[in-house]
Amino acid sequence: MATTLQPRSSTLEHAPLAPTRETSAPNLWARLRKIQPTFLALLGGIVIWEVAGQLAHFSFLPPFSAVINATWRMTLSGEIPSNLVVSLVALVIGYLCAIVVGVPLGVLMGRYSTLEYLIDPYINAMLATPSLLYVPILFGIFGISRVTQVAVIFLYSVIIITIMTMSGIRTVEASYVEMARAFGANDRQMFRQVLLPAAMPTIIAGLRLGMGRAVRGMINGEMIIVLVGLGALLRNYGGRFDSASVFGILIVIVAVAVTCNSLLKVIERRVTRWTE
């Protein structure tokens, strides 16, 4: 008797009410198929690069194989790894300082308009100017040192982080704030339970933009203050017009930028999971 009974859950299996682990994360094969055109386009580009480089013998466009060779050579000789580590250390320190300063400042500026008006003129000026100009100024203050490079990275990214955080706090739904007040929330509770969680997506978006800016600042700063790091390496090889090595280093830099961005995307997805 018991074997003829169909379990009722069979219908539920086909239409789950809540997203299960399997359905919410796209599986690997589906993801691979989606990036197929991207992959093909890149592959096509590499092929064209190789062919053009071999045929045309432009001094500025070495064939892709030459670029790979140069990259491999620099990796083996330790030039790329050591400079990469140096650059990344400065990047991490500068970026973390920018977060530590930018997020609290942005939260306070978003909440208290007095503070916003006080700091407002500097933010506008710094937004408008080409960030590259910070380098001669910081160079004048700190001289040729790693502190300058960390300071450049810090300045490049802190502004966008502050602005996005402030924007996130200010655009929290007024109804949430009113409701919290109606329930008698004090300032601290308001911050922790209403403002910060609601602003989190925008804050994280600001962190991603800040990371992109930080990488840019890392390279620009190192290229002008030629001391150590990937930017300095780039400047040296550029000065010798060794374009194969320059492209090789560029590939490493782009890989760094893309990796950092992907890392932040993963963090973003985990933190804002409740909004899905």
Window contacting other proteins (CB under 8 A); options: 1-9, 20-28, 145-153, 231-239:
231-239
Binding to other proteins in span 70-99, by CB under 8 A: none
What is the CB neighbour count within 10 angstroms for residue 25? 11
Distances (CA, A) of 12 to 7, 8, 16, 260: 10, 7, 6, 41
Find the shortest distance in angstroms from Cβ 28 to other proteins: 20
Residues 6+ apart with CB under 8 A from 207: 99, 161, 164, 264, 268
Find the shortest distance in angstroms from Cβ 41 to other proteins: 5
Q: Contact between 201 and other proteins (CB under 8 A)? A: no
Among 45, 56, 85, 96, the residue binding other proteins under the rule CB under 8 A is 45
Question: Half-sphere exposure (CA, 13 Å, Cβ side) for 80?
Answer: 18
Quickly list H helices, 112-195: 113-128, 134-142, 146-170, 174-182, 187-189
Distance CA 27, CA 51 (A): 36
Site map (CB under 8 A) of other proteins, residues 2-41, x = contact = -----------------------------------xx--x
Distance CA 243, CA 245 (A): 5
**Contacts to other proteins by CB under 8 A:** 37-38, 41-42, 45, 58-60, 114, 117-125, 127-133, 135-137, 139-141, 143, 160, 163-164, 167, 170, 209, 212, 215-216, 219-220, 223-224, 231, 234-235, 237-239, 241, 243, 246-247, 249-250, 253-254, 257-258, 261
